[in-house]
Amino acid sequence: MEVFTRLESFGDRFRLERGLAPHADWISCDRLLDPSSQELGRVLEAERVASGQKSEHATALTVMAIYAGTVTASALLAWALDRVVVDMRPRNVAIRLSEHHGFEAVALREPHAVAAPVETLVTWVLDEHLLPLARAMRTRTKAGLRQLYGGVAHGCAAAFCIASRRGGDADLLEGAYGEFLAAATGGLEKLGQVIRLREGDREGLFYLRNTCCLYYTSDEAVKCSSCCLDSVEDRVTAYRRVLAAGVVPH
């Protein structure tokens, strides 16, 4: 389908494999919603090893942010661009783990997208996928639910923000994000804010988090560009620098 080609044009973050390659070590995402599952344990352990996190709850917060910003981000961008909803309900999505921070691949069992309103997007991506995953990780690791939901909010916003800095129409993406946020469940509107900045002939959308994913406690020992431990003024200044340089931060 043309929508998948268009998604890939925005970078590897939005690339979806269509069908599950045989003999690959895929993890079905519906298994991750069971807090006691071996599959959820594998995902958490892979990230703990890759990033060198020191605690279970910090690992969960990091996983939640990167998961929402990569695994389901394509569904949000597809809806923003074409007003179609890619079927990213958990049973239709599988992931492959990576030796590095994040995931090696995301696949759809059945590559399917339908013209649908934002309420369908919210139901399939938030109500049936990301929010239940956050609750499962809360049960498994005791990570704070507000912080986990903050990772969901950050990851969802990333779809709109990163696309705006990779050639996407900032007006269209800003408007689509507003529609999504107005319909979103889980109180995402309280967990951060999307702002629009311009430097010279470049402009883009950026996210200001109100919660922390604790990635700075990992062996990487760096803060995310949206980290709430930095002041809004400092984050905006940093965002302006990367915008002027044409860099696309996470």
CATH number of 2-187: 1.10.510
Residue 250 scores a pLDDT above 90 = no
CB atoms within 10 A of CB 191: 22
The 10s digit of each residue's pLDDT in 198-215 is 988 889 999 999 887 766
User: What is the Cα–Cα distance from 164 to 173, expressed in whole angstroms?
Assistant: 7
pLDDT of 245 reads 82
Give pLDDT, residue 219. 63
Mean pLDDT of 28-47: 96
pLDDT band at 51 (very low <50, low <70, confident <90, very high): confident
**Distance from chain centroid for Cα 114:** 21
Mean pLDDT of 114-129: 98
Partners of residue 93 on adjacent β-strands: 108
Q: Over 90: is that where the pLDDT of 27 sits?
A: yes
Give the count of beta carbons closer than 10 Å to the beta carbon of residue 55.
Answer: 15
CA distance 70 to 62: 12
Query: What average pLDDT does this structure show over 128-132?
Result: 98
Spell out the domain ranges in the chain: 2-187
Phi, psi of 122 (to 5 degrees): -60, -45
When the pLDDT of each residue in the chain is averaged and rounded to a whole number, the result is 91
In terms of pLDDT, which residue wins out, 53 or 189?
189
Alpha-carbon torsion, ordered 18, 23, 25, 26, to 10 deg? 30
For the segment 108-119, the average pLDDT, to the nearest whole number, is 96
Backbone angles phi, psi at 225, to 5 degrees: -65, -20
pLDDT tens across 145-182, in order?
Answer: 999 999 999 999 999 999 999 999 999 999 999 999 99
Rounded Cα distance, 66 and 223, in Å: 14
Across 75-101, average pLDDT: 95
At residue 226, the pLDDT reads: 72
Confidence at residue 247, expressed as pLDDT on a 0 to 100 scale: 60
Q: What is the pLDDT of residue 221?
A: 58
Q: What three-state secondary structure class fits 229?
A: coil
Between 248 and 232, residue with greater pLDDT: 232
